[in-house]
Amino acid sequence: MASTPEGPLDRRGFFSRGFAELFGKAAEAVGERVEDVAAAAGLRFPVVDAVRCLPFRDVACGVCARVCPVGEAALRLDERGRPVIGGACTACGQCIDACVTAPSSLQSS
């Protein structure tokens, strides 16, 4: 199994990082912003809005992390319960849809 400085790299992590790099290069090649290309492809990379996100106001939540199909490599909670988006995120958008704040504290980039 391959590894990185962060530890072992499973197939899903390898695919996700490779996909992200390839996606970035493709966007650069066509002269578009990665965010615009991602939106056109139906991908939704989450960005945490610290103003809306409940754990940033010392209210326990964690719904986003519980629904993430990839797990902690894509979305984990820090020691204060705040969401941290990781490199294995596949941009599926499930965390954005599951967010209990209105509007969602996880926005598409």
Q: Tens digit of pLDDT for each residue in 97-107?
A: 999 998 888 77
Measured CA to CA, the distance from residue 57 to residue 86 in angstroms comes to 22
Domain spans in the chain, listed from the N-terminal domain onward: 3-108
pLDDT at 72 over 90: yes
Q: Is 83 helix (H, G, I), strand (E, B) or coil?
A: strand
pLDDT at 81 over 90: yes
Report whether CATH 3.30.70 matches the domain 3-108. Answer: yes
Q: Tens digit of pLDDT for each residue in 26-71?
A: 667 677 766 677 777 788 888 899 999 999 999 999 999 999 999 9
What pTM, to 2 d.p., does this model score? 0.66
Q: Is 60 helix (H, G, I), strand (E, B) or coil?
A: coil
Cβ atoms of residues 101 and 53 within 8 Å: yes
> What six digits make up the tokens of 92?
């599926």
What does the longest C-alpha to C-alpha distance in the chain come to?
43
Cβ atoms of residues 89 and 16 within 8 Å: yes
